[in-house]
Amino acid sequence: MLTLDYHPTGRHFLQIPGPSPVPDRILRAMSLPTIDHRGPEFGELGLRVLKGIQKIFQTKHPVVIYPASGTGAWEAALANTLSPGDQVLMYETGHFASLWNKLATRLQLKTEFIGLPGVEGWRRGVQAHMIEERLKADTAHAIKAVCVVHNETSTGATSNILAVRKAIDAAKHPALLLVDSISGLASAEYKHDEWGVDVTISGSQKGLMLPPGISFNALSPKAIEASKSSKLPKSFWAWDEMLDINKTGYFPYTPNTNLLYGLAEACDMLLDPAHGGLEGTFARHVRWGEGVRAAVKAWGLETQCIEATSHSPVLTGVVTPEGVDADAVRKLIYERFDLSLGTGLGKVKGRMFRIGHLGDCNDLTLMAALSGCEMGMKLAGIKLAGSGVAAAMDYFAGHPAPVDLQKAA
């Protein structure tokens, strides 16, 4: 047995914005025996997860499930809809938008990466009007796709995807809308069909509460149509065979069976009406985000996201004071309090840390995490304006979860 017992006692608090802690209920489901993926039982499982994941994406169209982690699904979305040399408009909301841009470049696409200057774009959601302006200028319709990140995991800003849709429509532009909701899905509200998204990319290790290892492309009819003339070489990522064979619940090559067990369980948990279903899930995360931001405010610190309408229900980025190395604080907190926090990435490395409140959480888990942050920051010599822990307690006690989300009496 692997020794991962660096942690002397008690449960480690994994409050990074993904991977999120996997509930025991899902670990148990994943321990079911691996079955023949061409045998009689598999089809039933396949149909079940394919239907379940549609509900999570709020789509009536097909969702492709890849036995690969999220980065692969980024590649799949591009490889199925585009051809070498195609022009793509990408918007910089933070580190993950930048990585996707880099990946598109490697795939021999011509990307244009727009956004606010310097670190400004890393503190807000997508500015949809900038997309609208750029598309209006593209009268030749050279741009084949617009790529945006729904929930920017590196900053804690959630973009208004419907506004991006409206921007494209206002520009009367035929570009496809590709959206990364890897960290948003199943924690932040997301409506693939209603928001007119052509491909939504997501992964397993965030709101779905699974280990990493499976990822998704939710499609629109327009995306499927585009895939027929796309010329980027592909086979593993190709939608055509997948969509065909998925009709029976089977897959063209070996699926990640044990993670599909976990996915079936995760869908049951997220959609369970006894806990408010998807709406209840979203409401819980919104409330947790508010509690955590109340703490940050009380500490006298800034959140990385400064746009009131874009605060993420998934994670909160906390900017440390000038001169403080945020990673040194994280290290101290990890070693003294067995709490993992997310690091600052790219442009904001060393300037902030991130508190995850996605996936499987509750008020006391977050109180534990905030206590660890508060004690750690004090020990690191940061002067705090007040107690964030006290503020979060006030918020959580004063704002009960909607009645139907509480336990039955």
Show contacts with a second copy in window 116-175 (CB under 8 A).
Answer: none
Minimum distance, C-beta of residue 367 to a second copy, in the bound complex (Å) = 4
Residue numbers 29-88 binding a second copy by CB under 8 A: 29-41, 45, 66-72, 74-75, 79, 84
Which one of the spans 143-151, 156-164, 186-194, 336-344 is the region binding a second copy (CB under 8 A)? 336-344
Compute the half-sphere exposure of residue 195: CA atoms within 13 Å on the CB side of its CA: 23
Which one of the spans 54-62, 208-216, 298-306, 309-317 is the region binding a second copy (CB under 8 A)? 208-216
Task: Give the Cα separation of 384 and 155 in Å (integer).
Answer: 21
Q: How far is CA 323 from CA 120, 329, 381, in A?
A: 20, 12, 11
Residue numbers 305-324 binding a second copy by CB under 8 A: none
Structural element, H or E, at residue 91: strand 87-91
The verdict on whether residue 11 carries a ligand-binding annotation is no
Number of residues interacting with a second copy: please give it, by CB under 8 A: 114
- Reading the block at residue 189, the tokens are 């509200």
If binding is defined by CB under 8 A, does position 207 make contact with a second copy?
A: no
Minimum distance, C-beta of residue 325 to a second copy, in the bound complex (Å) = 16
Of 221 and 233, nearer to a second copy (C-beta) is: 233
Tokens 């969509």 locate to: 243
Residue numbers 347-376 binding a second copy by CB under 8 A: 360-365, 367-369, 371-372, 374-375
Of 233 and 300, nearer to a second copy (C-beta) is: 233
Task: Give the Cα separation of 122 and 116 in Å (integer).
Answer: 8
Minimum distance, C-beta of residue 319 to a second copy, in the bound complex (Å) = 20
Instruction: Give the burial class of 353: count Cβ atoms within 10 A of its Cβ; 0-12 exposed, 13-18 middle, 19 or more buried.
Output: buried
Which one of the spans 112-120, 189-197, 299-307, 395-403 is the region binding a second copy (CB under 8 A)? 395-403
If binding is defined by CB under 8 A, does position 346 make contact with a second copy?
A: no
DSSP code per residue over 265-310:
HHHHHHH-GGGTHHHHHHHHHHHHHHHHHHHHHHHT-EES---GGG
Task: Give the Cα separation of 188 and 56 in Å (integer).
Answer: 11
Of 45 and 319, nearer to a second copy (C-beta) is: 45
Minimum distance, C-beta of residue 39 to a second copy, in the bound complex (Å) = 6
If binding is defined by CB under 8 A, does position 328 make contact with a second copy?
A: no
If binding is defined by CB under 8 A, does position 178 make contact with a second copy?
A: no
Candidates 55, 166, 275, 349; binder of a second copy (CB under 8 A) is: 275
> In 3D, which of 350, 302, 301, 304 has the Cα closest to residue 325?
350
Which one of the spans 184-192, 193-201, 301-309, 383-391 is the region binding a second copy (CB under 8 A)? 383-391
Task: Give the Cα separation of 42 and 57 in Å (integer).
Answer: 23
Task: Give the Cα separation of 57 and 73 in Å (integer).
Answer: 15
If binding is defined by CB under 8 A, does position 106 make contact with a second copy?
A: yes
Minimum distance, C-beta of residue 313 to a second copy, in the bound complex (Å) = 13
Minimum distance, C-beta of residue 7 to a second copy, in the bound complex (Å) = 8
Tokens 């209840």 locate to: 280
Minimum distance, C-beta of residue 258 to a second copy, in the bound complex (Å) = 4
If binding is defined by CB under 8 A, does position 381 make contact with a second copy?
A: no
> In 3D, which of 225, 216, 228 has the Cα closest to residue 192?
216
Task: Give the Cα separation of 183 and 174 in Å (integer).
Answer: 27
Candidates 8, 117, 118, 323; binder of a second copy (CB under 8 A) is: 8
Q: How far is CA 300 from CA 6, 152, 156, 328, 394, in A?
A: 33, 23, 18, 20, 16
Of 110 and 166, nearer to a second copy (C-beta) is: 110
CB-CB contact of 34 with 45 (8 Å):
no
- Per-position x/- string for 243-262, each x denoting binding to a second copy as judged by CB under 8 A, each - no binding: ----------xxxxxxx-x-
Q: Which residues are annotated as a binding site?
A: 354
Q: Which residues are annotated as a binding site for substrate?
A: 354
